[in-house]
Amino acid sequence: MKILQLVKKFPNPPKDGESIAVLSSSRGYAELGCEVTLLSMNTKKHFADVSLFPEGISHYKNVITSFLDNSISPVKAFFNLFKKTSYNIERFDDDAFRQKLIKLLSENKFDVIQLESLYMAPYIDILRTKSEPIIVMRSHNHEYEIWKNLSESNTNPLLKWYYNLCSKRLYNYELNQFDKYDLLLPISHTDYSKYIDIGYHGDILLSPVGIDIAKYEVSLSKLNPSIKLGYIGSLDWKPNIEGLKWFFNTIWKPLADTFENLEFHLAGRNPDPSLKEIQYKNVVYHGEVSSAKNFLENLDIIVVPLLSGSGIRIKILESMAMGKVVLSTKKGFEGISISNGVEGFIFESFEEFEKQIKSLLQDPNKLIEVSEKAKNFILNNFEFKKLAEKNIEAFNSFLNK
């Protein structure tokens, strides 16, 4: 089976959830005997030197990139207000990428073309006219929902209005794409249900992010005298910024005064200026780290204070695969159906968070117990090759028709 992946951001090295999802599915396909080609945008904001880290993409038969400057243009954004189209989508509608796609389709015959995210939908018309593949939409999140949540949480009237406009246009655009897919692959149970609720009636298959458990082997240990909590993620993504600011102001400030032996370690690239200004007690900012695994391994507890956004949190999956105890909001655990207090902990307030920290301090063996259950949970539900095999079975059912 020949598969083509269309991606809006070069996925290697895999420093964020979307990149990990892209590479884990393609590697699963390749290890199960498929021939996989990657056509990826290489954006100005997240530009990657393709020649570096070749081992991360060695499973692809062919890798093609197309540079795109998708920076936000105030002028284009302003004039877009007078149209009915989504400016978010327009930023990824690129002629150079389109020409490379046309050339690739003229030289190859693919059985399946997997679009990674809604931002690849503008190219479906080309796929229909230039070839006859199965068109699969891999949905990493509900894009419109991210902007809706940002609108609801923002206090600036102008930004609130604009974020809401972005959400409505993305929502309408997505609805108009539904009949263009042969198969929809939502990334979480929550997103799966939401697609049904908003009117998707086509073929649909749950397709979570796959994790290679072997890559996350670490030794489990009891809490250290100085207990290290921490977070790693993209610090220029609005939902992450919002959640971290809420956590530091509402939870960490009083918590650090109560528990002198707690430390919080923060890592991530492109920090928002408001996060740089945070100077609370026992908070250490590491910047962009060379190895997310090494950073997580040195922590006792992982904290994910997410209030908005959509999709599934890859760093939670990675942390649990390493046997780390994760404390997160319900939004953070969305799509990861843990039992609270068994494979991880859910908190929505200072009181809940404080209670969970106290329970771990008073019963250190609880850390080992939750750690082991977290790791088994990932093994049973998110092993990358098992998930790729389910997708391939669905692809074959279409091909056999």
Which homologous superfamily does the CATH classification assign to the domain defined by 214-381? Glycogen Phosphorylase B; (3.40.50.2000)
Residue 248 is given by DSSP the state I
What was the pLDDT predicted at 400? Answer: 85
| Coil, strand or helix at 249 | helix
Whole-angstrom CA distances from 341 to 52, 289, 325, 350, 357 are 41, 30, 10, 16, 11
DSSP bridge pairs for 5: 38, 114
Residue 121 sits at the vertex; the CA angle it makes with 10 and 198, to the nearest 5 degrees, is 120
Q: Which of 178-182, 273-277, 382-386 has the lowest mean pLDDT?
A: 273-277
Residue 150 has pLDDT above 90, yes or no: no
- Identify the H or E element spanning 296: helix 292-297
Among candidate residues 116, 121, 135, the one with its CA nearest the CA of residue 20: 116
DSSP result, 26-74: HHHHHHTT-EEEEEEEEESTT---TTS-GGGGTT-SEEEEEEE-----H
Q: How confident is the model at residue 7 (pLDDT cuts 50, 70, 90)?
A: very high
Same fold, 2-210+383-400 and 214-381: yes
What letter represents residue 140's amino acid?
H
What was the pLDDT predicted at 310? Answer: 67
What letter represents residue 191's amino acid?
D
- Mean pLDDT over residues 341-358, rounded? 94
Among candidate residues 9, 70, 15, 14, the one with its CA nearest the CA of residue 270: 15
Q: What is the mean pLDDT of the chain?
A: 90
What was the pLDDT predicted at 197? Answer: 95
Give the global pTM. Answer: 0.78
pLDDT tens-digit readout, 295-324? 999 998 999 999 887 667 888 999 999 999
In angstroms, rounded to a whole number, what is the distance separating the alpha carbons of residues 119 and 47? 17
pLDDT tens-digit readout, 102-146? 999 999 999 999 999 999 999 999 998 877 899 999 998 888 988
| Coil, strand or helix at 205 | coil
Residue 121 is given by DSSP the state G
More confident position, 309 or 361: 361
What was the pLDDT predicted at 312? Answer: 78
Q: For the chain, what are the domain ranges?
A: 2-210+383-400, 214-381
What was the pLDDT predicted at 354? Answer: 93
CB 16 within 8 A of CB 234: yes
* Residue keyed to tokens 């090759």: 385
Q: How confident is the model at residue 221 (pLDDT cuts 50, 70, 90)?
A: low
The highest-level CATH class for domain 2-210+383-400 is alpha beta
- Mean pLDDT over residues 161-186, rounded? 95
| Coil, strand or helix at 384 | helix
Q: How confident is the model at residue 272 (pLDDT cuts 50, 70, 90)?
A: confident
In angstroms, rounded to a whole number, what is the distance separating the alpha carbons of residues 156 and 239? 16
- CA 161 centroid distance within chain: 26
DSSP bridge pairs for 284: 265
> φ, ψ for residue 243 (rounded to 5)?
-65, -40
Which token pair is 91?
A: 């930023």
- Mean pLDDT over residues 335-358, rounded? 93
Whole-angstrom CA distances from 296 to 233, 238, 303 are 11, 22, 11
Residue 62 has pLDDT above 60, yes or no: yes
Among candidate residues 30, 31, 23, the one with its CA nearest the CA of residue 56: 23
Question: What percentage of the chain exceeds 90 in pLDDT?
Answer: 60
The most confident of the ranges 31-35, 209-213, 234-238, 380-384 is 31-35
What was the pLDDT predicted at 238? Answer: 83
In angstroms, rounded to a whole number, what is the distance separating the alpha carbons of residues 379 and 372? 11
Q: How confident is the model at residue 253 (pLDDT cuts 50, 70, 90)?
A: confident
* Residue keyed to tokens 């409505």: 168
More confident position, 401 or 111: 111
Q: Are strands 134-139 and 301-304 parallel, antiparallel or unpaired?
A: unpaired
Q: Which residue stretches of 108-218 are H helix?
A: 124-130, 143-153, 157-177, 189-197
What was the pLDDT predicted at 193? Answer: 92
CB 338 within 8 A of CB 380: no
